[in-house]
Amino acid sequence: MRHHKCGIPKNIDKKIPGSFLFIIPVFVISFNSFLFFSCVRAEPARMEFILGTICSVNLYGLGSESVYNEIFGRLREIENLMSVNIPSSEISRINAAAGIEPVRVSEETFNVIKRAVYFARLSEGAFDPSIGPVVILWGIGSGSERVPASGEIAELLPLVNWRNIELDEEAKTVFLTQCGMSLDLGAIAKGYAADEAAAIVKKALISRALIDLGGNIIITGEKKDASPWRIGVQNPEKQRGTALGYLQITAAPNESKTVVTSGTYERYFENDGIRYHHLFNPPLGYPAQNGLISVTVTADVSMDADALSTAVFVLGFEKGFALIESLDGIEAVFVFEDRSVRTTAGADFTLTDKTYFIKK
Ligand code: FAD
Ligand code: MG
């Protein structure tokens, strides 16, 4: 249903299912990748539920309580700015003013949206932060998921178009030019939050840390024995925390690296035996179906890896592989429904589950 209430801001129906703010089913908590039989202590030193997921941080005994407080405070701050589920957030304010007026936002919200638009352009719209109307319509993870009628989807599709996000760098305003448009930073803001947590770790001169925001992982510094960190890639058919293989990652002291996964197996629902997941193909308004189950991306910047893991998943293997290979310092692991696994040339990946196989 299309709404035409743009002249009356207070009455805009944002179409958020009633239960969305309150019901957070257990299956939405994602652990797509995780620390894998490392010899440092793997249990997080602190865990909190933020950004719709379990956020864990381990400073390996090198950080004080106040550093943990600063990190988790910062994560909440970012959630309060960028969540579509918090009516007072800057993203909610931008969405409520769609088709009406530009909204002035903080520099950081502006920069995350700007980066999201950058990845939308780079991926030719496979990643699109204006996917909000489609996310709300399907309601995946909201407790009121359903398969919409094709007409309902078709009606919303004109609203999904990153080119209609107007950014004014000087005024720091964001304007969604069409009534009914809405931003959703679910595919990029966790990455930004992880980068901000890592920045606090570095500022505090903590030499080693593991940050895991529901599958958005950052490691900083070297392990105690200087061996590479091993980050498991989730086996999509097994219990959470069961790997099909692992990536080896090294970071110099005071440097950080990130591993981010987008997959179909954590946030989905089934209807008539068909699985509908949360990674949408923007031009179609349907979950992307291309034989992939997950894409894991490694990079230096978690915000970039987050956007790219979603973009590449939606692009599919051929275009996604080409995109990753065109970017410096970024690698990827692709897991397919037929149990094949492919990697980009520079990924240091070891397969451990022999029911899967590496395809060159
Ligand atoms: P990713 O692949 O990184 O992202 C997938 C998500 O991005 C989808 O869920 C959708 O929101 C969006 N998306 C889908 N297709 C595309 C596309 N083609 N291009 C761009 N974006 C797309 N979850 C809750 O259950 N309750 C909450 O209150 C809640 N609050 C959140 C607040 C913030 C600030 C953030 C960043 C996330 C929050 N989440 C919440 C989780 C969020 O709804 C997403 O499900 C989650 O970020 C998905 O992350 P992922 O790593 O599994 O997948
Ligand atoms: Mg993502």
Amino acid present at 308: L
**Which of the four pLDDT bands, split at 50, 70 and 90, describes residue 1?**
very low
Q: Is 128 in the pocket of ligand 1 (CB under 6 A)?
A: yes
Amino acid present at 303: M
Asked whether residue 216 is domain-assigned, the answer is: yes
Pocket test for ligand 1, best of 160, 310, 335 (most atoms within 8 A of CB): 310
Asked whether residue 24 is domain-assigned, the answer is: yes
Asked whether residue 210 is domain-assigned, the answer is: yes
Query: Considering the chain, what percentage of its residues have pLDDT values greater than 90?
Result: 81
Residue 73: domain span: 11-360
Q: Is 297 in the pocket of ligand 1 (CB under 6 A)?
A: no
DSSP string, 214-238: TTEEEEES--TT-PPEEEEEEPTTS
In whole angstroms, give the CA distance from residue 150 to residue 153.
5
Find the ligand nearest to 131 CA. Answer: 1
Instruction: Catalogue the long-range contacts made by 144-147 (C-beta closer than 8 Å, 24 or more residues apart).
Output: 144/17, 144/18, 144/19, 144/20, 145/269, 145/276, 146/271, 147/271, 147/276
Asked whether residue 5 is domain-assigned, the answer is: no
Q: Indicate which atom in ligand 1 lies nearest the CA of residue 21.
A: 28
Sorted by sequence, the CB contacts under 8 Å of residue 82 that are 6+ apart come out as 89, 90, 91, 109, 112, 185, 189, 192
In whole angstroms, give the CA distance from residue 347 to residue 349.
6
In whole angstroms, give the CA distance from residue 331 to residue 345.
8
Sorted by sequence, the CB contacts under 8 Å of residue 248 that are 6+ apart come out as 228, 229, 230, 348, 349, 350
Q: How many domains does the chain divide into? A: 1
CATH number, position 203: 3.10.520.10
Find the ligand nearest to 278 CA. Answer: 1
Summarised one tens digit per residue, pLDDT across range 24-60 is 222 223 345 565 544 344 445 899 999 999 999 999 9
Summarised one tens digit per residue, pLDDT across range 188-243 is 999 999 999 999 999 999 999 999 999 899 999 998 888 999 999 999 999 888 99
Find the ligand nearest to 217 CA. Answer: 1
Summarised one tens digit per residue, pLDDT across range 13-28 is 333 232 222 222 222 2
Q: Is 185 in the pocket of ligand 1 (CB under 6 A)?
A: yes
Q: Is 85 in the pocket of ligand 1 (CB under 6 A)?
A: yes
Q: Is 145 in the pocket of ligand 1 (CB under 6 A)?
A: no
Asked whether residue 312 is domain-assigned, the answer is: yes
Q: b or e along 50-81 (b: 16 or more beta carbons within 10 Å of the residue's beta carbon)?
A: bbbbbbbbbbbebbeeebbebbbebbeebbeb
Asked whether residue 69 is domain-assigned, the answer is: yes
In whole angstroms, give the CA distance from residue 312 to residue 322.
9
Asked whether residue 4 is domain-assigned, the answer is: no
Tell me how crowded residue 10 is: count the other CB atoms within 10 A of its CB. Answer: 6
- If you measure from the C-alpha of residue 186 to the centroid of ligand 1, how many angstroms do you get, rounded to a whole number? 3
